Amino acid sequence: MNDSKGIDVSGMPDQAIGVITAPRGFFRAMPREGGYLDPIIFLLVMGLATALIQIILGFIGFGHAGMMGMAAAGMLAIIMLPLFLVIGGFITAAIGYVVWRFLGSRQSFETAFRCVAYMSAIAPITALLSAIPYFGTIAHVAWGMFLVVVASVEVHAIRERTAQIVFGIIGAILLIISVSNEYAARNFQAQFDRMSSQLGENMDDKSPEEIGQAVGEFLKGLENATRQDAQQGQ
């Protein structure tokens, strides 16, 4: 894939299917060079698909608080999530590059970025799976680590057992963090919804003083909920 030949967007579904259904063959045949434009566009397309799925899930009442926030943001999510995915791709590739080089890889940063970019093919699927509490998070981390191991073997010529041990440990840490964050988000959303419901009860019948008191109690409860979530995340 050479940037000078243009971008073959029509081939991206086949690339995504290759990553999902035959990752070993895909990464074995993946060009190690060719510029950054193709993988960046792939990330943007996967980010757009993921954003649309999250927005739909949010509107129909599925997903955790972060997804419902994206649904409310609408077009902002469609713009921001693909950009965040690209930025995150570069950051993840930098971390992966360091780990892969430490394990003996001789591939360039561009190759590391290409590996990470095409792994994003699973993002729309795991976003859909996130309609089931915690399942999407677990699937995303576990599937992602599996693809990292495959890329380590097929692209970076690292022994499979070594890759399984190293990235298995990293995956376990990420899984604990991700599940904890989702738990905190869901718990915060539940408390927020409960307090919002209490605030809205019979608001039309309250005096200005009572409304002010109710708002103060709502903000205090929100502050306590935020503090509790922060403590749980430590």
**What gap in Å lies between CA 7 and CA 113, rounded to an integer?**
17
Interior angle at CA 165, CA 163 and CA 169, nearest 5: 115
pLDDT of res. 73: 53
Neighbours of 14 (CB within 10 A): 11
**Cα angle vertex 97, ends 121, 78, to 5°?**
35
Q: Residue 2: in which H helix or E strand, if any? A: none
With tokens 């976003």, the residue in question is 127
Reduce the secondary structure of 49-94 to three states and give it as a string.
Answer: HHHHHHHHHHHCCCCCHHHHHHHHHCHHHHHHHHHHHHHHHHHHHH
For residue 133, which of 193, 50, 66, 64 has the smallest C-alpha distance? 64
Q: Where are the alpha helices (DSSP H) in 103-207?
A: 109-119, 123-129, 135-154, 160-200
User: Smallest Cα–Cα separation from 46: which of 11, 14, 77, 82?
Assistant: 82
**Whole-angstrom distance, CA of residue 206 vs CA of residue 129:** 43
Read off the tokens for 48. Answer: 């757009």
Tens digit of each residue's pLDDT, the chain (234 residues): 444 455 667 789 999 999 999 999 999 999 999 999 999 999 999 999 998 888 888 777 665 544 444 445 556 778 888 899 999 999 999 999 999 999 999 999 999 999 999 999 999 999 999 888 889 899 999 999 999 999 999 999 999 999 999 999 999 999 999 998 888 877 766 565 555 555 555 445 555 554 455 545 545 554 555 555 445 445
Domain boundaries, the chain: 3-178, 190-233
Joined tokens for residue 212: 């002010």
CA distance 232 to 177: 11
Between CA 229 and CA 44 the distance in angstroms is: 32
Does the pTM surpass 0.85? The reply is no
